Structure 1
Amino acid sequence: MAGHVDNAVVLDAPMDLVWQMTNDVASWPGLFSEYAEATILEERDGTTRFRLALHPDDRGTVWSWVSARTPDLATRTVRAHRVETGVFKYMWIFWEYTQEPDGVRMRWVQDFEMKPGAPIDDAAMRDRLDGNTKVQMELIKRKVEAVARVHST
């Protein structure tokens, strides 16, 4: 069995600002609440390889992994995947940005499968990712819209 999460949010901000802020991986610790560190490891042929580290969990464990991300400005899409999969067999993420009448619709589609013996199954991870994605998208929405308001005055 595999997991699938599909969420979107509309940001009241210009497309170029949304694209720039959400694709600046090095700045993600200030954009997402869950990331303590984002370290760029390599940029080659339009793909960025980077390490993300979460804030310590309630046991003091810091979870981290390497991902690769390839944005396509022409189609306003991004394809990403975990290189170090950890508890996942695979984790693929598709980002899509579309212009809507009331702003930019930013959509994240996450497809994954947990490894046998992982501490949670696909359904539990789907629920966890779905809930956290909504929280992160709302946070990003507020932060990007705040910058857009400053730039518009």
Structure 2
Amino acid sequence: MAATDNAIVIAAPMELVWDMTNDVESWPELFSEYAKAEILGREGATITFRLTLHPDEDGAVWHWVSERTPDPVRRTVRARRIETGPFEFMNLLWTYAQTDAGVEMRWRQEFAVRSGLPFGDKEMTERLNTNTRREMLRIKELVEKAAAGRPAVNR
């Protein structure tokens, strides 16, 4: 098993960070890598959805189905891939914590790459860390921009 653990502090109100990052339908605007996000079903707080990436240079289009369950009281989201693709499994935990500088958003991914592929856990860890850090910076920028356009709210 391998894991990643990445965090960023977003200078914005908790409600805004929570709302923007948990609105799966808007992820193609929030994440640079997603071309489409389709909600497939809802059961209680759990959302099942398909994410589609922008096409590769060779035209290949990658997609998978995941589910996520947000807990707004604990400010956590548990997610997992249902269609695992190159992974034996992929589980994610998103946590949100208020700090003096804003909201710390942390993503932890636990996974194992299937055997027989031309890459393993080490290479996937590097890829996931690179992509996660890039996407977190983009999200920080977009949420902070949205916060600058909103009136201040005491929370």
Please state which band the TM-score falls in when normalised by the shorter chain.
Answer: over 0.9
Matched residue, 1:68: 67
Matched residue, 2:52: 53
Q: CA RMSD in A?
A: 0.8
Please give the alpha-carbon distance, in whole angstroms, between the structure 1 residues aligned to 2:25 and 2:118: 30
Please give the alpha-carbon distance, in whole angstroms, between the structure 1 residues aligned to 2:118 and 2:30: 28
Matched residue, 1:33: 32
> For each residue in 1:93-144, what CA deviation from the matched residue of structure 2 results, as whole angstroms up to 9, or x when unmatched?
0000000001000000000000111231100000000011000000000000
Tell me the CA shift for residue 11 of structure 1: 0.3
Q: Give structure 1 stretches of 5+ with no counterpart.
A: none
Matched residue, 2:144: 145
Matched residue, 2:41: 42
Correspondence list, 1:4-153, <5 A: 4-152=3-151
Number of aligned positions between the proteins: 152
Tell me the CA shift for residue 152 of structure 1: 2.9
> For each residue in 1:64-91, what CA deviation from the matched residue of structure 2 results, as whole angstroms up to 9, or x when unmatched?
0000000001100000000000110000
Please give the alpha-carbon distance, in whole angstroms, between the structure 2 residues aligned to 1:85 and 1:94: 16
Please give the alpha-carbon distance, in whole angstroms, between the structure 1 residues aligned to 2:118 and 2:89: 15
Normalising by the residue count of structure 2, what TM-score does the alignment of the two structures yield?
Answer: 0.96
Report the residue type matching 1:39 in the other structure: E
Q: Give structure 2 stretches of 5+ with no counterpart.
A: none
Q: Secondary structure at the match of 2:150?
A: helix
Between 58-67 and 110-119, the greater mean CA deviation after superposition: 110-119
Q: Secondary structure at the match of 1:136?
A: helix
Tell me the CA shift for residue 34 of structure 1: 0.3
Report the residue type matching 1:50 in the other structure: F
Report the residue type matching 2:22 in the other structure: N
